[in-house]
Amino acid sequence: MKTALIDPFQRAISYLRVSVTDRCDFRCVYCMSENMQFLPKKELLSLEELDRMCATFIRLGVKKLRITGGEPLVRRDIMTFFRSMSRHLDSGDLHELTLTTNGSQLHRFADDLYAAGVRRVNVSLDTLEEAKFARVTRWGRLPQVLKGIDAAQKAGLKVKINTVALKGFNEDELFTLTEWCASRGMDLTFIEVMPMGDLGGEDRVGQYWALDDLRAQLATRYSLSDIPKRTGGPARYSRVAETGQDIGFITPLTHNFCESCNRVRLTCTGELYMCLGQEDMADLRAPLRASDDDAVLENAIRAAISLKPKGHDFDYSRQRADGQMTRHMSHTGG
């Protein structure tokens, strides 16, 4: 094992989120515009390059690998990559291999994911009403996602639901979503909408529902107690006494989580973003392709980590999306 990756603020980087494609079969209103211009194939890292990149990060101390997109399961032959990554689970160098998905393809791949060593998946789901689901995803079909969740649980995968809190959209489903997840033994995480990308007229400030308010509404019906649970990500968790489930809150705006950030994000083109809420990035594709010697790539990774900022600058307090990122969420991988 090489010397661990430590950023300038003495945070050990042990969690890598990897976008394997910018493409998706949905067009969620807070993630991408309806008429997206996707990247040409030659700009994307090949599956073999993704394998080499991830293996290098694991050698440098990354213990958790989350595969994202776009929608990762629409990447052609993606299971080849998952099966290859399982060797790091077998060796013990990697502690967890997981993914975030919209659920549309889970019915096809759930068994294969489990066989590759995946044990948990996060499914993005913002509403249980079919018409509203079609509206927020533009192209998505709720029954297909529910079929995928069924398949994942049947395969033995632990499913956690990620719900973006959207004012005027899913406020009225707060208790419905909570109770539905509890009935299926699924934890639930709420996420504040983040100012990422030009979404063709979508009102960021109008969408924003502070999780302090959401939690206060939950507390009118349930007894919530904070718990020290950590899953490697930014969520802070509370236990619901009445249902026994854990509810997470990801609050990049009301309470940022930067002081404990152990994450970096690799895009499908090999750009490493040291912070979701900053534009600074490092190009790792060039050193990867420049030499077969992994030392060149390792040096580039270490140089990038040395530039990791202390935190991000998302702010809606002045009724505008200060700190807005020009890139789409689908580009960075969430």
Binding-site residue positions for [4Fe-4S] cluster: 24, 28, 31, 258, 261, 275
32 Cβ neighbours under 8 A, 6+ residues apart: 24, 197, 199, 328, 329, 330
Pairwise CA distance, residues 327 & 268, whole Å: 13
User: Do the Cβ atoms of 69 and 78 come closer than 8 Å?
Assistant: no
| Helices of type H across 219-272 | none
Q: Which residues are annotated as a binding site for S-adenosyl-L-methionine?
A: 30, 70, 124, 194
Report residue 285 as tokens: 């594709």
Output the DSSP codes for 30-92: TT--SS--PPPGGGSPPHHHHHHHHHHHHHTT--EEEEESS-GGGSTTHHHHHHHHHHHHHHT
Report residue 14 as tokens: 């042990």
Q: Which residues are annotated as a binding site for GTP?
A: 17, 66, 100, 160, 263-265
Q: Which residues are annotated as a binding site?
A: 17, 24, 28, 30-31, 66, 70, 100, 124, 160, 194, 258, 261, 263-265, 275
User: Do the Cβ atoms of 178 and 188 come closer than 8 Å?
Assistant: yes
